[in-house]
Amino acid sequence: MQPGLGRGGRRRAESLVRRVLGLAGLRPSDRLGQHFIIDDRAVGEFLKPITRAAEGGLREALEIGPGAGSITLPAAGVLDRIVAVELDRRLASALSTLAPPSVAVVVGDGLKYAAVSRAPLVYSNTPFNLSPAIVEALASNNRVSAAVLGVQYEVARRMVARPGSRDYSRLSVLVSLVFEAELTGVVKPQAYYPRPQVLTAVVVVRRLRRWRSLYSVAMELAGCAFTQRNKKASKVLRRCLEAAGCTPPRWLETLGDARVWMLEPWDFVRLAEACRG
């Protein structure tokens, strides 16, 4: 038994993780964000929204970072087809010996797959350092209708934040431009082997609007503006627009004393439109 995996076989996820890590001869890597779910209730936090999505007709999925398969194998029971992309070759090879035929375990960078996948559903208990990049890739891939994502709790708060709140950020703007997002559950560190330092939140996103090329410019401007979130928006935006080679529109002055953290997501789209002329 791996150190820290707990006693007895009362958890299905726990015995699966033990088996796959044994097969792979692997010690979890911090660099790859390898924390594996060993608690069946935590698996349920992902499986419930995945099942709802499947019942709603999203029956093919991309999984990013299946690890030891704690979510993959139960999800295979409710989905018709899963492509599970894992960066760690040893894990992928061990998991593929246990996965049913409806699951294709692929070695690769899940981030690249997120941007081009044709599957309508994506799920991932994400490597935390990649979460915002995964959200960004999914937003720009119009084929993805919904995603179930485990992210660091603070990132989840930023994903669902509205203008005016402390957590409102570039990521909030991105999510609200294309998705409806809901924080549906929380997974504690003790549900993992090894334990991470942070809480995981499960966030379900559903596409509201198609990604438009204009949003890339809007997000560039939002990224620039949120480096000075407490400053006067008109001043900061003027500087950001000029840096992007755009002429600031006259209506910037109507923002008055509003600060960057008060801007609505659509303000950035209007600016991008003005930028395109």
The site for ligand SAM (CB under 6 A) is made up of 32-37, 64-67, 70-71, 85-88, 91, 109-111, 125, 127, 130
Please say which residue, 125 or 172, places its beta carbon nearer to ligand SAM. 125
- E strand segments, the chain: 36-37, 60-64, 81-86, 103-107, 121-125, 146-152, 179-187, 192-193, 200-207
How does strand 200-207 pair with strand 146-152?
antiparallel
State which residue has the least CB distance to ligand SAM.
65
Is 65 labelled as part of a ligand binding site? yes
Q: Is residue 40 classed as helix, strand or coil in its secondary structure?
A: helix
Find the distance separating the first CA and the last CA of the chain, reported in whole Å. 63
What residues contact residue 35 under an 8 Å CB cut-off, 6+ apart? 28, 192, 193, 194, 195, 196
Is 45 labelled as part of a ligand binding site? no
Half-sphere exposure of 46 (CA within 13 A, CB side): 30
Smallest distance from the beta carbon of 105 to ligand SAM, in angstroms? 11
Is 40 labelled as part of a ligand binding site? no
CA–CA distance, 20 with 224 (Å, rounded to integer): 44
Please say which residue, 47 or 64, places its beta carbon nearer to ligand SAM. 64
Smallest distance from the beta carbon of 137 to ligand SAM, in angstroms? 11
Smallest distance from the beta carbon of 60 to ligand SAM, in angstroms? 18
Is 110 labelled as part of a ligand binding site? no
Smallest distance from the beta carbon of 187 to ligand SAM, in angstroms? 9
Is 86 labelled as part of a ligand binding site? yes
Binding residues for S-adenosyl-L-methionine: 35, 37, 65, 86, 109, 125
Binding residues: 35, 37, 65, 86, 109, 125
